[in-house]
Amino acid sequence: MRVHICAVGRLRAGPEKDLIDDYLTRFDRTGRGLGLGPASVVEVEDRKGGGMSAEADLLRRALPKGAIICALDERGKVETSPQFAQRLADWRDAGRGDLAFVIGGADGIDPALRGQVDHALSFGKMVWPHMLVRVMLAEQLYRAAAILAGTPYHRV
């Protein structure tokens, strides 16, 4: 199952990008034998300043056809890392070829797009900068693959 991180905004070179690249490389390596990956990042940017609805249109265009859509949203479900790993395994086992994670811009995800997702996931009740959410998602993807592979990266 290919994994796509569809996000608003461009991430410049720096520590966040380095972390994302590192964790996604680890995810690809660990997930390959599990039927997970590769992972890619698709960035969209609303240069005309159309707000959340314009960002939502750009995100919709970035989504692979037929993909499971999971929004990163503060109103979403809070899951443990093992629960998240199991969710990925269940989606993979359902035979879907693509999984797309949607990360909105500074104002979040347009309500109309939020209403179209298959699942909404939250990293807690706090609001996180959308660039850090990318890092956290990349790490959790790697952690999920490590859990499913039975490696010692995730310790209880």
154 is a domain residue: no
**Looking at the domain assignment, is residue 125 inside a domain?**
yes
Q: 99: phi > 0 → left, psi -120 to 50 → alpha, else beta; which? A: beta
Would you state the pLDDT for residue 48? 78
Which domain does 71 fall in, by range? 2-149
Averaged over successive runs of 10 residues, the pLDDT of the chain (156 residues) comes to 96 94 98 97 87 94 97 95 98 96 93 96 91 96 98 82
- The CATH number linked to 124 is 3.40.1280.10
**pLDDT for residue 156:** 62
**What pLDDT score was predicted for residue 147?**
97
pTM metric for this prediction: 0.94
pLDDT attached to residue 106: 86
What pLDDT sits at residue 130?
85
Number of folded domains in the chain?
A: 1
Residue 55 lies in a domain: yes
